[in-house]
Amino acid sequence: METFSVGVIYKHRFEPAKQEAHKLVKWLQGKGLNVFSEEMGPSGQKEEPYDNPELLPVNDLKWIIVLGGDGTLLGASRKYGRHGIPILGVNLGGLGFLTCIPIDKLYSSLDMILNNSLDIEERLMLETKVTRNNREIYKFQTLNDVVINKGPLARIIELDVLINNEFLTTFRSDGLIISTPTGSTGYNLSAGGPILYPTISNVILTPICPFTLTNRPIILPDTVVISVMMLKESEEKVSLTFDGQVGFDILEGDNILVYRSDSNIKLFKSPDQTYYEILRKKMKWGGATYSKDADK
């Protein structure tokens, strides 16, 4: 068997993930593979793009296994996704849209990967650039969404939105969600946005509780550049967050540019469930009434 290196990432301070990681490392080493592991720590509000040191040797890894929940995989995707290393998400958490491999299917899935029989799909990521006083102060990649959101007080915020430098509208709302198809089942869905198949090439713009009820979610091509600017200073903090995990406060006049990243993330597909089965199960849409034998 070919000798190569793989990475194992597991959820921070989560004992079941730590135990499974140790067991997995031994199994992989028993297959003659070089294994590097990393505990994925909690995301801090001031996490900087690419400044968080990469503990795994990305130039040597053939694939990465993530043990945890969707949050752990999102953290791993921000850190390593841009390198194009295929990631296998193993669910030890709750919902598990991204970590679609249950723990009891881990080793059978790994056997399929070793036999080159487990499919990989690519999903788009977003890149966000923030400029202040004509100076770039922030750049970040995300897999799920970019969210502009106000604090807990009742006042709304006003956001000018341009698409490819063409004025779209001024959203007066609690905030704005810019989502990938992968993130469409997250905050976007809670705010009334549509579900998109995760591999299509679109971006969703969804206002959060808009003052004007005719402001509805918009599906845009992934070729656009979305520009957002807060019109006037809010009496409370307005935050820009990435994947619901990291971010910082924005100020009046900050220009936020969101566009498709040059990097796609590669995820191993579930060998047992289609996306529609995962969607039906996770969304609890009820049992299927259609029988595959009905047409026979």
Residues 199, 136 share a domain: yes
- CATH, residue 193: 2.60.200.30
The three-state secondary structure class of 11 is strand
* Range of the structural domain that residue 112 is part of: 5-119+269-295
Which range has the top average pLDDT, 5-9, 13-17, 279-283? 5-9
Query: For 95-114, how does the pLDDT look when each residue is reduced to its tens digit (9 = 90+)?
Result: 778 998 999 999 999 999 99
Among the options 70, 145, 243, 254, which is catalytic? Answer: 70
| CA distance between the termini of the chain | 44
- Across 262-285, average pLDDT: 91
The three-state secondary structure class of 70 is helix
User: The tokens of 138 are what?
Assistant: 């922030």
Residues 58, 110 share a domain: yes
pLDDT score for 39 = 93
Q: Are 255 and 164 in contact (CB under 8 A)?
A: no
- CATH, residue 36: 3.40.50.10330
Q: Which of 1-5, 59-63, 208-212 has the lowest mean pLDDT?
A: 1-5
70 is catalytic: yes
- As a whole number of angstroms, the distance between CA 228 and CA 212 comes to 18
Do the strands 157-163 and 226-230 form a parallel or antiparallel pair, or are they unpaired? Answer: antiparallel
- As a whole number of angstroms, the distance between CA 104 and CA 117 comes to 18
Specify the pTM: 0.90
Residues 145, 115 share a domain: no
pLDDT score for 235 = 67
Residues 63, 170 share a domain: no
Nearest to 263 by CA among 137, 60, 87, 135: 87
pLDDT score for 152 = 77
- Across 282-287, average pLDDT: 80
Region at 99 (left for phi over 0; alpha for psi -120 to 50; beta for the rest): beta
- As a whole number of angstroms, the distance between CA 35 and CA 8 comes to 7
Would you give the DSSP letter of residue 294? G
Percent of the chain past pLDDT 90, that is, above it, reads 74
Query: For 232-256, how does the pLDDT look when each residue is reduced to its tens digit (9 = 90+)?
Result: 766 678 999 999 999 889 998 899 9
